[in-house]
Structure 1
Amino acid sequence: MKILIIEDEARIARRLERMTTEFFGNKPVRIILCDSLQKGLDEIADQTPDLLFLDLNLNGDNGFEVLEQMVAASFHTIIVSANIDKAINAFAYGVLDFVPKPFDQDRLFKALNRFISPAIKQDETIKYLAVKRAGQIRLINIAEVIYIKGAGIYTELHLRNGQKELHDKSLELLQQLLPDQFERIHKSYLVNLQQAEKVLISPGSRYELLLLTKEILPIGRSKYKELKKKMI
């Protein structure tokens, strides 16, 4: 596992490194420290991390300017910053957590537990999913997302306007970020239940979900009972 820390204060960077090492214990973790935004971006371009710790104020560089690129990427981002007024916007853009400075071990461990435990949801609500298209970042309001389909190393966002957008994050990572209205109904599908009409039982005991768009998606056998309760 590779964890990247972009932090220009050496004392805080080393503290993050030490606490993160303690959290993972004997698990193999490679932690890279970068003291500038450009060094961090170069490191990401060289090898994609599994997790990024990002400060929002780096020697005058505004980490928020590249945040859209980070949350559109295949890895999770945790903000570590004294700019707590930026927290609401950061969550809206899809960061996994916002750890305010100064922080203690309990607070950092809470953020890391969110990273390793998909079932732990953040309290704040994500509003957008950032996607990359032709080198540009576009923000998609999650209210426009009908469902998300696993597509190899990518995921497909299926939107109310009939368009599809590719996202670099896996279904598992997106499920951690999205609110409870998004339900994993199948190993390959994550659905906005506000766009669902009813559960269908087809011949051969196959379960399917009829959407308001009249599309029909498969429901995994292990997901049927829980989904049925939520659809009542």
Structure 2
Amino acid sequence: MNVLIVEDELRIAKRIERMVLEILSDNLKFIKVSNTLKNAVEYIESNTLDLVFLDLNLNGESGFDLLATAVSKSFYTIIVSAYKDQAIKAFEYGVLDFVPKPFNKDRLELAINRMRTEEKIANNPIKFLTVKKRHKIQLIPIDSIVYIKGAGVYSELFLSDGKTELHDKSLEKLERLLLPSFERVHKSYLVKMTEIKEIIVASGSKYMAELTDGTQIPIGRTKYKDLKAKWI
């Protein structure tokens, strides 16, 4: 696992680093500490990461400036900040967890375990995803997403206006971040439950979800019974 710590207070950065080394131990490939937003952004652009720990106040600069970029990337972000009143806003950016300062090893480990488990993050009030286009960040409201198709390490977002956007996170990672109203109906698809108009049983024991716009999405055989029970 490749980890970046973005923290301007050396004492706290070293404390996070020590705890992460203890928690991840043999699963850690490398760990980098950056004390400025500029250095952090440059490092993110040129390195592959799995996890970023981010403070929201960096020498007077806002961590949210980096967060807008971070949520469009393929890694998870854990906020470590004393600004508890910013937690809701941070979750709206799709962060994995918000660890308030002061913190201990147990609380940090709990945040890391949220990434290592396969459980969905319930009650996460994420309101949008971001995609990077022409070196700019575009916000995609969750309400506008109809379904998502996996495309290798990327995902295609299919929107209610008929447009399609490419997101840097894999389908598995988006599944953990999105609201419970999105269900994994197939190994390659996440669908918003409210968009399903009908569940069709086709010949050859094939199952399809017909959406309100007429699109038909395949349903995995192992997903059919569970999906039907939730849809009804």
Q: Same fold (TM over 0.5)?
A: yes
* CA deviation after TM superposition for structure 1 residue 92, in Å: 0.7
**Quick check: 1:97–1:122 contact (8 Å CA) kept in 2?**
no
**Aligned match of 2:157:** 157
Deviations 1:206-232 (A, max 9, x none): 011111111101011111111011111
Matches within 5 A, 1:25-174: 25-174=25-174
**Quick check: 1:148–1:190 contact (8 Å CA) kept in 2?**
yes
* CA deviation after TM superposition for structure 1 residue 63, in Å: 1.2
Deviations 1:175-212 (A, max 9, x none): 11101110001111001001111211100000111111
* CA deviation after TM superposition for structure 1 residue 76, in Å: 1.0
* CA deviation after TM superposition for structure 1 residue 152, in Å: 2.7
**Quick check: 1:13–1:33 contact (8 Å CA) kept in 2?**
yes
- Using the alignment, how far apart are the partners of 2:202 and 2:5 within structure 1? 50
* CA deviation after TM superposition for structure 1 residue 38, in Å: 1.4
- Using the alignment, how far apart are the partners of 1:117 and 1:109 within structure 2? 12
Instruction: Supply the AA of the counterpart residue of 1:67.
Output: L
Secondary structure of 1:222's partner?
Answer: coil
**Quick check: 1:118–1:175 contact (8 Å CA) kept in 2?**
no
**TM-score computed with the length of structure 1 as normaliser:** 0.96
Instruction: Supply the AA of the counterpart residue of 1:217.
Output: I
- Using the alignment, how far apart are the partners of 2:192 and 2:157 within structure 1? 11
Secondary structure of 1:25's partner?
Answer: helix
Report how many aligned residue pairs link the two structures.
232
Unaligned runs of 5+ in 1: none
1:4 aligns with 2:4: yes
**Quick check: 1:198–1:231 contact (8 Å CA) kept in 2?**
no
**TM-score computed with the length of structure 2 as normaliser:** 0.96
- Using the alignment, how far apart are the partners of 2:94 and 2:158 within structure 1? 18
* CA deviation after TM superposition for structure 1 residue 124, in Å: 3.0
**Quick check: 2:124–2:178 contact (8 Å CA) kept in 1?**
no
Secondary structure of 1:169's partner?
Answer: coil
**Quick check: 1:96–1:122 contact (8 Å CA) kept in 2?**
no
